[in-house]
Structure 1
Amino acid sequence: MNDIVLSATGLVMRFGGITATNNVSLNLRRGARHALIGPNGAGKTTLINLLTGVLTPTEGRIVLEGEDITRLAPHKRVARGMVRTFQINQLFDSMSPLETLALVVSQHTGAGADWWRPLGSSKQVAERAGQLLEQFRLADVANQQTKHLAYGKRRLLEIAIALACEPRVLLLDEPVAGVPAGEREELLETVAALPADVSVLLIEHDMDLVFSFADRMTVLVNGTLLTEGDPDTIANDPKVKEVYLGHGEAHA
């Protein structure tokens, strides 16, 4: 089982009389490219909130690299290597990408309150921030205020922030949501090039991205696990076609 980096077993989440997550289990393998899909109201966001500690399950267990984290606070999960991007962009509008990444890298490496010093005074922080700016195609806008960035660039910065935390498990929450068509290719290419040693769980409605990215897929419907398998299996599953992909819709 040592190739399983994140394991959720029998998760149940009840809100009053409503069961939002009904006995869902999921295993994320080391280095996986795993997609979580399902129609609106399927319970994807609730499940991610359980995994990240925003919600505490009514029943069930979550294990990260052999450690039970079911009741661990969200920030402690980040410290243990599980990081989430949000489908609603949450960035420091008045700061530049360079300043933002320097702040995150400083906090992660323990420099903390010293992040505001001239960037050149911490070679480690400056080098790592520079690497992230290049990797996420932000070098050309490194010194612009974030509020002036194109939306696609903001999403790239959001993923760069997550990678600055050096995650072992990355939960990508709808990375292309709201991104105009002209800005999508850069984002898709960057997502495809994420480090191989980072295990990725992708939550996404865009089926082109899902099928080009994922090597395994989990389908939720009404808070319940419908099926799980490789992309070919999912694309050809009659139940999936009926509830999600549309009758007769095919994906290569």
Structure 2
Amino acid sequence: MSEIVLETRHLVRRFGAFLATNDVSLKVERGARHALIGPNGAGKTTLINLLTGVLPPSEGQVFLEGEDITSMASFRRVKRGLTRTFQINQLFNEFTPLETVALAIAEREGVGHNLWRSIAGCGKVVDEAAALLARFGLASVMGERTVILPYGKQRLLEIALAFASKPRVLLLDEPAAGVPEDERHEVLQIVSDLPADVTVLLIEHDMDLVFSFANRISVLVAGAVFVEGTVAEISTDPRVKAVYLGENA
């Protein structure tokens, strides 16, 4: 029997009279590659914000590994193993990738204050950061300022930064968004090669990435779960083609 690692029950978020999330009940299995798709304005990012505690729900509950985390602060959810990336990079432009990831690791280990004194003096942290950057194809640029990196490398750095917290559940909010075509292959390959023991919930508009990555897809329309199924089921569902993939548009 599969284990549910992330779950929402009847989740609602209102902004005044506008219903951004409408009675969403969603289950994500441990180790899943679960994609959340839908047209612009469907409420995908609002749902991610509810899952991560950026927004409180108007109604409903969020569970992580069976624990009700509905009222839990965002940083505590990260410590519980729920981490996200963003549509727009949330990076320190003047830091190098090594400094960025080393700081995240140091904060995770509770030694962040020491890192500010001398990054060179935190050998174990720096070694782990360097290994993580190599895993994400960033070894050759780990000493460069983030602001001058190609955008695809910046997206990879954000995923590496999320991994520095050792997540059990990773929420990827459009990891390939804005990445030039000649840099996309590397980003998509890294996403495809994410460790199998990390559960991934992916928001993405690139359907090639979705269909090659996901083993389960939920389609969100007008804030509600419209349909859910396997890649084969979703890719051939005429209702999905009509509302999202562009047929009969």
Are residue 53 (structure 1) and residue 31 (structure 2) matched?
A: no
Q: How many angstroms apart in 2 are the aligned matches of 1:53 and 1:87?
A: 17
Output one character per residue of 1:74-97: Cα deviation in whole Å (capped at 9) or x when no partner: 111111110010111111111110
Runs of 4+ residues deviating >6 angstroms: none
Q: How many angstroms apart in 2 are the aligned matches of 1:16 and 1:117?
A: 47
1:105 deviates by: 0.7
Secondary structure at the aligned position of 2:39 is classed as: coil
- Give the partner amino acid of 2:113: A
Report the TM-score when normalising by structure 2: 0.97
Alignment of 1:105-120 (within 5 A): 105-120=105-120
Count of residues paired in the alignment: 249
2:89 matched to which residue of 1? 89
Q: How many angstroms apart in 1 are the aligned matches of 2:109 and 2:182?
A: 36
Q: How many angstroms apart in 2 are the aligned matches of 1:54 and 1:157?
A: 22
Considering only aligned residues, what root-mean-square deviation do their CA atoms show, in Å? 1.4
Ranges in structure 1 where 5+ consecutive residues have no aligned partner: none
Alignment of 1:6-155 (within 5 A): 6-155=6-155
Q: How many angstroms apart in 2 are the aligned matches of 1:122 and 1:193?
A: 29
1:2 deviates by: 6.8
- Higher mean alpha-carbon deviation, 14-23 vs 201-210, is at 14-23
Ranges in structure 2 where 5+ consecutive residues have no aligned partner: none
Secondary structure at the aligned position of 1:70 is classed as: coil
Report the TM-score when normalising by structure 1: 0.96
Output one character per residue of 1:128-182: Cα deviation in whole Å (capped at 9) or x when no partner: 1011111011111010000110000000000000000101110000000000000
Are residue 176 (structure 1) and residue 171 (structure 2) matched?
A: no
Output one character per residue of 1:92-135: Cα deviation in whole Å (capped at 9) or x when no partner: 11111011111111111111201134444333212210111110
Q: How many angstroms apart in 2 are the aligned matches of 1:128 and 1:3?
A: 30
Q: How many angstroms apart in 1 are the aligned matches of 2:135 and 2:83?
A: 18
Q: How many angstroms apart in 1 are the aligned matches of 2:224 and 2:177?
A: 24
1:246 deviates by: 2.1
Output one character per residue of 1:15-51: Cα deviation in whole Å (capped at 9) or x when no partner: 1111111111111111110000000011101111110
